[in-house]
Amino acid sequence: MKIVVQIPAFNEEKTIFEVINKIPKKILGIKEIIILVIDDGSKDNTVCEARKAGADKIVSHQFNKGLGVAFRTGINEALKAGADIIVNIDADMQFNPKDIPKLIVPIVNGNADLVTCTRFKEKSKTPKMPLVKKFGNSIFTAIISWLAGQKFTDTQCGFRAYSRECALRLNLFGKHTYTQEALLDAVEKGMRITEISCTVKGQREHGKSKVVENWFAYSIKALLIITRSIRDHKPLKFFGAIGVLLFAIGITSALWLWIRLMLKHKIDPYLWVAYADVILVVLGFLLLILALLADMNDRQRKTQEEILYKIKKKEIE
């Protein structure tokens, strides 16, 4: 089997050499290990340090496009290189490259399509990190677990291994990040996902996170990506739930007004509520219609994704 270890990097000159240097040169059952660096518009010596460390291939963006775009670039390049397994690891040395053999075991054994590192499954391996960061992780993990219908303990970790089949099936759109969207998309495609506990550094030794510079801004961007993912994968439930809610509120309120009219023979001073009820009922009805149309469009999307999958598979064979 051939492994491509992809490393998205943006201004990581202080750590990328060590990351590449610590990637195992030999792994049992693996014929070839290729190190791929995706330089996301770095302004420092990241590329120079990567070359010095012995990276097999470096792909550079002309300007910083975001981690989500860098990840997709890496997946496409890894597939072109004939990867059977793609391992994604950050360039900041928070993850230990020597854990790669452990991470890929479920895929090598045919028991998983996507393996993600978890920092919180085993208490002994839980890293020290700011309370706000740990709280944010737990909230996002709970949301993704609920949406995916599968219990996860860490959905923000970028240290992951993907089978070729899983990588071919993924269709992602987020620019800022990809971790939550990739899990939801993989679940939607029927991929088998498992978690492996690894010892991870809770904080960077050099510089600040390029993805989570501000937790509030990151949360808004991540929630937007998640919302769009739900909208794309489950449009009937997404629009239908909102439509039913608005319709139910409008009908319930209108029923209350009707009972009041029967008892007191007047609507005043709640005439404005009657207008609001009409708006809610109409909006709810329109959203239910939209839900049905979106569901029809979802079938077309799935057909197009299947065609795209076959095209990508043919290109790399």
Give the DSSP per-residue string, 180-235. HHHHHHHHHTT--EEEEE----SS-SSS--SS-SSHHHHHHHHHHHHHHHHHHH-H
pLDDT of residue 208: 62
pLDDT of residue 16: 95
Q: Name the token pair of 16.
A: 């990328």
pLDDT of residue 214: 67
pLDDT of residue 206: 61
- 211: exposed, middle or buried (Cβ count in 10 Å: 0-12, 13-18, 19+): buried
Q: Could you tell me the sign of the dihedral formed by the alpha carbons of 157, 163, 165, 168, in that order?
A: positive
Residues 6+ away with beta carbon under 8 Å from 94: 200, 201, 202, 203, 204
User: Does residue 155 sit in helix, strand or coil?
Assistant: coil
pLDDT of residue 282: 96
The closest alpha carbon to 137, from 180, 175, 98, belongs to 180
A 10 A CB-CB count for 299 gives 9
pLDDT of residue 281: 95
Task: Order across the sheet with 57-60: list the strands.
Answer: 57-60, 32-39, 2-9, 85-88, 160-163, 114-118, 193-197
Write the DSSP symbol of residue 126.
P
Contact 177, 222 (CB under 8 A): yes
pLDDT of residue 132: 79
Map out the domains of the chain as residue ranges.
Answer: 2-233, 235-316
Parallel, antiparallel or unpaired: strands 193-197 and 114-118: parallel
Mean pLDDT per 10-residue interval, the chain, length 317 residues:
95 94 92 96 95 95 94 95 96 93 95 94 80 84 91 93 96 89 94 93 64 71 87 92 95 91 84 92 96 93 92 86
pLDDT of residue 130: 76
CATH 3.90.550.10 fits 2-233, yes or no: yes
pLDDT of residue 213: 60
